[in-house]
Structure 1
Amino acid sequence: MPDRDALKPDRRALLLAGAGLALTGPAFAAETSAPLTDLPLAMPKTEFVYEAVVEIAPMVPLGESPLGERRIVPITGGVFQGPRIRGTVLPGGADRQLVRKDGVRRLDALYEMKTEDGAILTVRNQVLVDPGRDGAPDYRFSTIDVTAPEGPHAWLNRLVLVGTLASLRPAREAVLVRAFRLA
């Protein structure tokens, strides 16, 4: 018959094990905890909506603020297209930027796009750019809000869009925005 005391872990071992679990953080808890409900976990999927080549003018510095360096990048034109939509990016919009003290950039672009059939879409693209550290790539993802007039493009008003951003420099003074709907 085994010794009962030999089967009981000592208090120190239990405390160290508990501390180890606490240090692994929420990721470990999510993997080992039971679901909160019996509803199946439905991971979002994405579907390509459009890509836009947005032409830009040189950046204009706006000065330091308590939150970081402020600047603005005028939008001068461009083109966009996707499976159900295409047209031009209108000049006159701008990308307002905040470069935080930690190097992360918050971009808030507001501009209009005109579809082939003449509808004017208003786009607000809010991007977070975290420069890659230690050889890692930049993190460049956004939420995109498109407001369309009633009519053939009203379907855009009922979507949650996420996006990616890539610079096209030095080949051209433009950025590439790709928009995907969450499904």
Structure 2
Amino acid sequence: MTDRDAPPATRRALLLAGAGLALAGPALAEEARTPLADVPMVSPRTEFVYEAVVEIAPLVSLGDSPLGERRIVPITGGRFQGPRLGGTVLPGGADRQLVRKDGVRRLDALYEMRTDDGVILTVRNQVLIDPGRDGAPDYRFSTIDVTAPEGPHAWLNRLVLVGTLASLRPSRDAVLVRAFRLA
């Protein structure tokens, strides 16, 4: 049954409802753009947690994929230090990378760090690097997930961490990772 075949009352109701939506549309759209007045907006702050100098081996290309070039960079060691912890970056981790067709790089690094008191932390650092265009600087930010065992460093399990990444080349084969907690 087409809407021309619908009973007149039903067709009339549909037309009236459509007209009402058409008239209310701008008002509904305006309401959708208005922030919730009864919920205060709280912008996150950051607090420094640590910085790590992560030593790396030469990049190995894993070939092209439909999403872009796949690469891996072995992690060979390093050091980290912050106000509440410090220690060494253990060898054996790796940074898996995808270089997309638009030039954006997605990095997914997984490695371990040993604190000065012997605790092993597992770090997963997911980075997005967008090369600067038209003179703009690179965009290099990450989310960092640190997993700690129960004990003196368990506080790391309850944080949302964000980070920055900077290359230390050509002076050394390493990157500088700075981690900040959202507060």
Q: TM-score range by the shorter chain?
A: 0.7 to 0.9
User: Where does residue 77 of structure 2 map in the other structure?
Assistant: 77
- Other structure's SS at 2:175 match: strand
- Using the TM superposition, give the Cα deviation of residue 37 of structure 1 relative to its aligned residue in structure 2, in angstroms: 4.1
Q: What root-mean-square deviation, in Å, do the aligned CA atoms of Structure 1 and Structure 2 show?
A: 1.5
1:9-158 paired onto structure 2 within 5 Å: 33-158=33-158
Could you list the runs of 4 or more consecutive aligned residues of structure 1 that deviate by over 6 angstroms after TM superposition?
A: none
Residues 87-119 of structure 1, C-alpha deviations (whole Å, 9 max, x = no match): 000000000000000000000000000000000
- Normalised to the residue count of structure 1, the TM-score between the two structures is 0.82
Largest Rg, 1 or 2: 2
The unaligned stretches of length 5 or more in structure 1 are: 1-28
1:140-179 paired onto structure 2 within 5 Å: 140-179=140-179
- Normalised to the residue count of structure 2, the TM-score between the two structures is 0.82
Aligned length: 154
Q: Distance in 1 between matches of 2:66 and 2:40?
A: 45
Identity %, equivalent residues? 86
The unaligned stretches of length 5 or more in structure 2 are: 1-28
- Other structure's SS at 1:171 match: coil
- Using the TM superposition, give the Cα deviation of residue 84 of structure 1 relative to its aligned residue in structure 2, in angstroms: 0.1
